[in-house]
Amino acid sequence: MSHDHQHHHPHDHDRGETASRVLWLATALTLAYAGVEAGVGWWAGSLALVADAGHMVNDAAALALAAAAAWLSRRPPSIRHSYGFGRAEFLAALINSLALLALVLWLAVSAIRRLQDPQPVIGEAVSLAAAVGLALNLVVAWLLGRGEGNLNTRA
């Protein structure tokens, strides 16, 4: 008597592909709104909003790096890379950290210049753009919070 049944076991690469798609969606949303926020910040004369847009561009770049690293880390070992590509995620996190440091330095210089030469700001436009940006960041955080513990999605 033969007993035949199948069990479905989720494969690790399935989760990796889903995480990669979520990272790319989060990247697109973040980058799209960063453009809006930069435009409103420039128009309204708000260094804070332009800085937040820069931060969002950094976040989008970090998400793109994380998605690429997640894809790369799923590649099997090769003759040249006998241990595989699992460390790609760590390299992506390092690149993200260095880019954020560069953004902080740019912001510090810009803020000092702004203190020396204050400009008027259109507060209502800044408040509205910041509120929409906060809502978008919450959506992106929710999307990424469903990840599998990838170092880059936690960052």
**pLDDT at residue 8, as a whole number:** 47
Report if residue 78 sits inside a domain: yes
Q: What is the pLDDT of residue 15?
A: 57
Does some domain include residue 6?
no
Mean pLDDT, the chain, as a whole number?
Answer: 81
Q: What is the pLDDT of residues 111-145, one digit of tens each?
A: 999 999 998 999 999 999 999 999 998 999 998 88
- Domain count along the chain: 1
**Residue 23 domain-assigned (yes or no):** yes
89-95 contacts, C-beta under 8 A, 24 or more apart: 89/150, 89/151, 89/152, 90/151, 92/62, 92/65, 92/66, 92/68, 92/152, 93/66, 93/151, 93/152, 93/155, 95/65
Q: What is the pLDDT of residue 145?
A: 87
Does residue 59 belong to any structural domain of this protein? yes
